[in-house]
Amino acid sequence: MQLIETAKANNLNVFIYLRHLLQKMHGMDFKNHPEFLENLMPWAKEP
């Protein structure tokens, strides 16, 4: 729930953000490299 509220607070479309998040996480080795998730947080700027 906090992730959704943070996405809203950052003026993101929650459904688009969650779809983007799940698509990016699909092939990501975030279990061994949790730092990969930092770029996916709602406050992260898109490169």
For 1-47, the pLDDT digits (tens) are: 688 999 899 899 999 989 988 888 888 887 888 888 888 888 887 64
Hey, what are 25's tokens? 């996480």
What is the tens place of the pLDDT at every residue in 18-31? 998 888 888 888 78
Q: How buried is residue 14: exposed, middle or buried, by Cβ count under 10 Å (0-12/13-18/19+)?
A: middle
Burial class of residue 3, CB neighbours in 10 A (0-12, 13-18, 19+)? middle
pLDDT of residue 47: 45
- How far is CA 1 from each of CA 21, 23, 27, rounded to the nearest angstrom? 15, 19, 24
What are the extents of the domains in the chain? 2-40
Query: What pLDDT was estimated at residue 5?
Result: 93
Determine the pLDDT at residue 25: 84
